[in-house]
Amino acid sequence: MKYSAPLLSALLLPLCTATLPAAEWSIPTAGNAYRTAPAPGDDGFARRGGGGGIAWGDTNGVFSVFFHLSQPATLDLALNARVPEGRSTLVTRVLGRSFTNTLEGAEFAPHQLGRVEVSATGYVRVDFQGTERAGRVFAEIRDLLVTSDTDGLKLDYVKTNQGNMFYWGRRGPSVHLGYQLPPDRKLTHAYSEITVPEGQDPIGSYFMANGFGEGYFGMQVNSPTERRVLFSVWSPFSTDNPRDIPEDQRIIALGKGPEVHVGEFGNEGSGGQSFLLYPWQAGKTYRFLTEVKPDGQGHTTYTSWFGDQAAGEWRLIASFRRPKTDTHLRGFHSFLENFAPTTGYQGRRGLHGNVWVRDTDGQWHEITQARFSVDPTGGGRHRLDYTGGAEGDHFYLRNCGFFNDTGQPGEVFTRQSTAAQRPEIDFEQLPRG
């Protein structure tokens, strides 16, 4: 601050006249924006070393930026943007208000949009749509600029690309249920059921039912026309490239069910993978059974079955041998994740019910308690749209969609008992491949 009067005069000014400067936030579109119309997709995203932004020319295209407010506030909005050719007109919509602005200038610079009053804590959505342009694109938008003089205001969003967080942040937080197992029991089987409510199954969803210390088993939405039941086991050799796994540490496929594909996977550890193309449906309940048995020779066999609960069916997915492993079932858990960054703004929810484990004596034990956790995307406050809980006789997990109900990692949920629905399984009749 500069003063035209002598310093002594400045010191004599009443302290009450001092005002705090407005706080400013720069929200990168590369990690916080989505194409929300006419459909999810990455058309319009310009990637430059992980720090690009959005640039589009389709008048039907709508891009949306999301950020979270710690309290009600007055916000002044602007864009860090450029228009490569001529001038363009953008319409910005937020909380029922609409601003129409003309942008021009081939260099990145601030462009004012307007002021909005936000009356509640939570997520704010800002939509951009182009209406007129002289060049190939309406604009290249690198950041949404937010300014506010609301005292104590905090904003949460994906701030940088450190750790590839623009990718992980757009995917959204993954949430988990860690089941509380009976103590001092050697466990051989995990059983659970999943129901996905209608409308809660966007592309990219993985509803994982039976997770264990060495792998996972659940169902995915891979495209508008493809859904899978997926079962994978990690190699004991740590690598993201399956080709690097030594021969004596490779996962061996021992058997598979009809129409099941068996191969390898990488990029998140490596190992053996199997999947069945299966048109599972939201609103129906499916059951999952996983068997974990050491073979007495320093290896462990993992086998998983899947079926429509109402139809009483069991289909073998696959059986794998994991070398250099001598264990029974451990670390039984479920999770919900989104593996498609383009759909990270769409919500998903899964119901996990009738959860059981079976021990080496053939006794079933019901699981009615689970501990909630979230991955670093949520734990680092890059995203706050995650929660879980217990409702009646089932647990639930929910993530993405930019809702305002944030869960508490470490919380323990207790569901009502389903003792009358204990699994009745003839293990001798299960298909083995």
Give the per-residue pLDDT at 13: 34
Give the per-residue pLDDT at 51: 56
My answer on whether 152 and 189 are in the same domain is no
pLDDT tens string 15-70: 344 445 789 999 999 999 999 999 999 888 876 544 579 999 999 999 999 999 99
Give the per-residue pLDDT at 240: 80
Element (H, E) at 377: helix 376-379
Give the per-residue pLDDT at 16: 41
My answer on whether 139 and 213 are in the same domain is no
pLDDT tens string 290-328: 999 999 999 999 999 999 999 999 999 999 999 999 999
My answer on whether 312 and 273 are in the same domain is yes
The boundaries of the domain holding residue 132 are 20-157
Q: Is residue 15 part of a domain?
A: no
pLDDT tens string 348-400: 999 999 999 999 999 999 999 999 999 999 999 999 999 999 999 999 999 99
Q: What is the mean pLDDT of the chain?
A: 93
Tell me the C-alpha distance between 162 and 373, whole Å. 22
Q: Is residue 5 part of a domain?
A: no
Residue 266, pLDDT > 80, answer no
**Contact between 398 and 335 (Cβ < 8 Å):** no
Tell me the C-alpha distance between 57 and 94, whole Å. 21
Question: CB under 8 Å to 133, separation ≥6 — which residues?
Answer: 57, 83, 86, 88, 89
My answer on whether 69 and 46 are in the same domain is yes
Number of residues written out for the chain: 433
- Residue of 25, 23, 28 whose CA lies nearest to 143: 28
Burial class (CB in 10 A: 0-12, 13-18, 19+), 42: middle
Give the per-residue pLDDT at 9: 31
Q: Which two tokens stand for residue 155?
A: 């904003």
Q: Is residue 214 part of a domain?
A: yes
Q: Is residue 53 part of a domain?
A: yes
Residue 165, pLDDT > 60, answer yes
End-of-domain residue from the set 157, 181, 214: 157
Q: What CATH number should be reported for the domain holding residue 56?
A: 2.60.120.260
pLDDT tier for residue 329 given thresholds of 50, 70 and 90: very high
Partner residues linked to 109 by β-bridges: 81
Element (H, E) at 221: strand 215-221
Q: Is residue 298 part of a domain?
A: yes
Of all residues in the chain, the percent with pLDDT exceeding 90 is 86
My answer on whether 30 and 122 are in the same domain is yes
Give the per-residue pLDDT at 48: 54
Of all residues in the chain, the percent with pLDDT exceeding 70 is 94
My answer on whether 284 and 397 are in the same domain is yes
Give the per-residue pLDDT at 373: 98
Give the per-residue pLDDT at 47: 62
**What is the average pLDDT across 402-413?**
98
Q: Residue 169: phi, psi to the nearest 5?
A: -65, -40
**What is the average pLDDT across 226-254?**
91
Give the per-residue pLDDT at 212: 98
Q: Is residue 318 part of a domain?
A: yes
Q: Is residue 241 part of a domain?
A: yes
Burial class (CB in 10 A: 0-12, 13-18, 19+), 160: middle
Give the per-residue pLDDT at 264: 76
Which of helix, strand or coil describes residue 333?
strand
Residue 7, pLDDT > 50, answer no
Q: Residue 92: phi, psi to the nearest 5?
A: -110, 130
Q: Which amino acid is at 6?
A: P
pLDDT tier for residue 4 given thresholds of 50, 70 and 90: very low
> Considering the entire predicted model, what is its pTM?
0.92
My answer on whether 152 and 176 are in the same domain is no
Q: Residue 349: phi, psi to the nearest 5?
A: -155, 135
Give the per-residue pLDDT at 232: 96
Q: How many structural domains compose the chain?
A: 2
Q: Is residue 359 part of a domain?
A: yes
